[in-house]
Structure 1
Amino acid sequence: MYAASREARSRSREALRAALTGSDSVAATTGSELFAVVAVLDDQRSLRVALADVSVPGSVRAELSERVFGGKVSPASLAVLTTAVAQDWSRTSDLVDTLVLLGQEALLESAADSGRLDAVEDELFRLGRIIGDNPDLEQALADRAKSASAKRELIGGLLAGKTETITQTLAEQVVSRQKAGVGVAFDELSDLAAARREQIVAHVRAAIALTPQQRERLAASLQRIYGKQVTVHVQVDPTLLSGLVVHIGDDVIDGSAIGRLERLRRALA
């Protein structure tokens, strides 16, 4: 993302923070409505381009968005949308992607306000693992031939009554737009939820399931290393033989047997 879009995204996020006052229902409504706006923009290229056309004054673009969406979304959602549209974006896709991000952040804010953010974060991580471990499901959710509504119906049927409502809303939005890497997209959402709690996420692959005490000790050790609270998400991977592999951002800590064998092999070579 170029500098202009980074600045535009920053101002749009400020508008979101200003709009999310009052009850958690304001945040939930704003998130869902921003997703609905994105669905319209995905379907209408001419409108999408017009709202991001930097050759037109931002005030004119904001007025256009108000004519199109005014009365169809809440005042909070409209305030966020008009502010975003009034910014100068390097690319049209940057505007749409930012509206997606704002919708996600609004829904996570709602989860936090209702005390359900931990549950949503955990469900998003587990969903990413389930999809990543099921190639047929991942292919179906990323199938370009399937309509967005068909993908939403598929994931909605799988999650109905089994997850938080916010988790399902986020999941349906992800699969409706994602063309590849669906599992990774859920990992990114889980990380976004952790960031909302000012924590970092450790993605851990372990040869066997960790006990609660082992998870706590691992989290404490990583917290001492990184100086921040750490959320530990564990995936069992028997191919490691023993030990575990920890991914935090770009950092990889490989304490697995297979990793040690690979390092030995390279040393001998």
Structure 2
Amino acid sequence: MRGLSRTALAEVEQRFNAVAASADLGTLADELFAVADLLDREHGLRRGLSDPARPADQKEQVVRGLLEGKISATALEVAVAAVRSRWSHAGDLPDSLERVGVMAAAAEAESDGRLDDVEDELFRFGRILSANPDLRRALSDPGVPAERKRELLAGLLGGKVAPSTLRLVTQVVVHPRGRSLETALDQYGWIVARARERLVGVVRTAVPLGEEQKQRLAAWLRATYGRDVHLNVEVDPRVLGGFSVKVGDDYIDTTIAGRIEEVRRRLAG
């Protein structure tokens, strides 16, 4: 987000942080997702509530009239903060509510001591989708009813992942909002990592890393970036040997495949 929307998002997050402490975080996440989904469906409502020329008090009155008694007081306060803010683009309004919904799920995971699990499980499920085209088609097919997708995910993941992970994956699958499932899962993973103000490093290696290797790599990245880096490790035999790490826009490649490609480029030049 840029300009007005970046400021507005900070205001919504600040309001969320102020009211979420006493909330049922799982319920709060579901309610914020539901409001974001409502605004996605109702284009006229979204345009009206994000119109910077419309008085904030009037927009608040509309939201309270629509949602009061249907969602918790906490979720309503966050929604009111969102519509009272000024957005550069109408789509940034539901985006902000989805984002704080993910933050609520992350806070739920942290309170359960499972935030690391959620980060790992979102990453792994994205890679499972990439490796299983049939599953990906079934979950991304708009012709498959939402309830059927929920049942499929419950059967696949229920009792095997953290409740927050199942909540987030279900939201992505049922309401992808124009994104690929892998892209949405990556975005959610970034927001979850931000709950602890950590960076995320995607490591590609030919063989699984041992725990000591992961700790050494994490310590090196922490010293490099000045903050913790959560490692998502992807085993890919095509790298041949060594490893690569992607942190944000930075890419560190020590793989044999990378060196071979570099030699090829130099020869071609």
Correspondence 1:174 to 2:182: no
Count residues with an aligned counterpart. Answer: 267
Q: Distance in 2 between matches of 1:7 and 1:28?
A: 26
Deviates more, 1:131-140 or 1:159-168: 131-140
Q: For residue 248 of structure 1, what is the aligned residue in structure 2?
A: 247
Correspondence 1:37 to 2:32: no
Q: For residue 118 of structure 1, what is the aligned residue in structure 2?
A: 116
Q: Distance in 2 between matches of 1:39 and 1:147?
A: 16
Residue 233 of structure 1 aligns to a residue in which SS? strand
The one-letter amino acid of 2:109's match is: A
Shift of 1:149: 4.2
Shift of 1:88: 1.7
Shift of 1:28: 2.4
The one-letter amino acid of 1:102's match is: V
Q: For residue 218 of structure 2, what is the aligned residue in structure 1?
A: 219
Q: For residue 57 of structure 1, what is the aligned residue in structure 2?
A: 55
Structure 1 gaps of 5+ residues are none
In the TM superposition, 1:114-193 aligns within 5 A as 114-178=112-176, 179-193=178-192
Q: For residue 203 of structure 1, what is the aligned residue in structure 2?
A: 202
Residue 92 of structure 1 aligns to a residue in which SS? coil
Structure 2 gaps of 5+ residues are none
Deviates more, 1:138-147 or 1:68-77: 138-147
Shift of 1:142: 2.7
After superposition, the CA RMSD in angstroms is 1.7
Whether contact under 8 Å (1:205, 1:245) holds in the other structure is yes
Shift of 1:89: 1.5
Q: Distance in 1 between matches of 2:266 and 2:36?
A: 52
Deviates more, 1:74-83 or 1:171-180: 171-180
Q: Distance in 2 between matches of 1:91 and 1:195?
A: 24
Q: Alignment identity in percent?
A: 40
Q: For residue 14 of structure 1, what is the aligned residue in structure 2?
A: 14
1:155-178 deviations in Å (ceiling 9; x for gaps):
333212211111111111112222
Shift of 1:29: 2.2
Shift of 1:153: 3.7
Q: Distance in 2 between matches of 1:124 and 1:186?
A: 6
Whether contact under 8 Å (1:142, 1:180) holds in the other structure is no
The one-letter amino acid of 2:125's match is: L
Deviates more, 1:125-134 or 1:136-145: 136-145
Q: Distance in 2 between matches of 1:42 and 1:191?
A: 22
Q: Distance in 2 between matches of 1:11 and 1:96?
A: 14
Whether contact under 8 Å (2:102, 2:192) holds in the other structure is no
The one-letter amino acid of 2:159's match is: G
Q: Distance in 2 between matches of 1:235 and 1:260?
A: 19
Residue 24 of structure 2 aligns to a residue in which SS? helix
Q: Distance in 1 between matches of 2:89 and 2:193?
A: 28
Deviates more, 1:61-70 or 1:32-41: 32-41
The one-letter amino acid of 2:73's match is: P
Shift of 1:150: 4.2
Q: Distance in 1 between matches of 2:84 and 2:151?
A: 34
Residue 252 of structure 1 aligns to a residue in which SS? strand
In the superposition, relative to structure 1, how do residues 253 and 239 fare at CA in structure 2: closer, same or farther (>3 Å)? same
Shift of 1:234: 0.6
The one-letter amino acid of 1:120's match is: V
Shift of 1:184: 2.6
The TM-score normalised by the length of structure 2 is 0.92
The TM-score normalised by the length of structure 1 is 0.92
Residue 21 of structure 2 aligns to a residue in which SS? coil
